[in-house]
Structure 1
Amino acid sequence: MTTWVLLRGLAREARHWGGFPDKLRCALPAGDTVVALDLPGNGALWRERSPARVEDMVAAARRTLAGVPHTPPYALVALSLGGMVALQWALEHREEVRGCVLINSSLGRFSPFWRRLRPASYATLLRLLAPGRAAIDRERAILRLTSNLPLAEGTQQAWTAYALEAPVSRGNALRQLKAAALFRAPAAAPGVPLLLVASERDRLVSVECSRAMARHWGAPLRVHPAAGHDLALDDPGWLAGLVADWKTRVS
């Protein structure tokens, strides 16, 4: 039995995974567990201060799991900034991590800043700093930037509700951006199984970031031809099947 821990990206929370956790549960063997975590400053933890270092995000995630009946080792499935958290977790606590699936993530060591965050996305990212009722326009803009495929009915309304119920503060968004910008992984890959997943048409983070990681680490890479940055939203069934197949191969 394996506990799968899902980690989201910048200013996103567990609920933004949408239907992916359920699809992953269905694709995995009976007995496997799927847990979606919120990092400080997001979701259920929106009142907390976001760390400005990925290492401190790892410590926060480990504290959260210490309070629930799930024991390591964990398989980490992580999107964007969450991928950096997963990677650091594997580097610091290899004995706790069974493997990592890194989705549309990036590393400063291997990719320039203009690939890690495409310049055309900067105006939308600035909306993360907009307070109050601006959440409606902001979430619409984020979905336009991160999703390429038809959305499940009610997605935009649900995301707007999340932003109003658990608003990410300007300071927390900036600290999360800082953590992502400053994170540097070592040249050597962590000593756990890796699967890199990317979207060819990602308009936020270039697919070349995942290709660079795959080249440097000799890690397998799977590329979706049409999805956007939020691959778990655009094609959750494809992603769940990919993860389940990877588990079978690794096992």
Structure 2
Amino acid sequence: MSVVDLARFMEDLATESGQAILPFFRASFGMDDKGRDTGAFDPVTEADRAAETILRGRIRSTFPTHGIVGEEFGSDHADAECVWVLDPIDGTRAFITGLPTWGTLIGLLHDGVPVRGLMNQPYLGERFVGDGASASFHGIRGPRKLMTRRCERLADALLATTDPRLFAPGDEQDRFRSIEGAVRMSRYGTDCYAYCMLAAGQIDLVVEAGLKAHDIVALIPIIEGAGGIVTAWDGGSAAKGGRILAAGDVRLHAAALRHLNP
């Protein structure tokens, strides 16, 4: 399949999964707590499962040799050369409270490297797409190129994270508080939308911890394609999740790493 056809296929995946999700948004639906045994609330809805079922079915029928890693139904041939990494609803807590800061994440790994990513927000009619070399936004006013904002100093930076409780008490939380205390402003409750706003040049930093591969793989090519950088806190690859640092400016990223690794 050509690059053009692959891009169209990903767009089709976004459209079909969005059609499955939207009837559930701001409506009554079934919900389970995957974290019941751990004491940490981890919701999953009918919409999550319906969308991932559609995504997996289309990928298997089109690319039978590709692997799939999804939040709801686990891994299938995760050691394949090409692996799709799926999160049908990133931001389920936002979804169940009627807030539109959630999205469907569709990412593609080639030999373990994120090479294409898409974030779809069907309620707002927005898509963010990237291949590591370029990135674009598609909304109701048409498409436009994504470009991160230049910001060298932490004192000028706008930071986002989904929840400060992501960070384990002690050293991890202290490191986050250190960088949060150095920036101009911070915002919470953003999930995948924060990374897309970073790619769009609206914010400068995203700092998180405890992420899984399905939370971040699709977002890496979008941010890199817009001119940003995404790594682990130690500066290594972010593709497997964990502690994540994303920045729109390489100079800001370096300054943030110094705070996170004193």
Query: TM-score scaled by structure 1?
Result: 0.27
Higher relative contact order (CA 8 A, sep 6+): 1
Larger Rg: 2
Give me the TM-score of the superposition, normalised by structure 2: 0.26
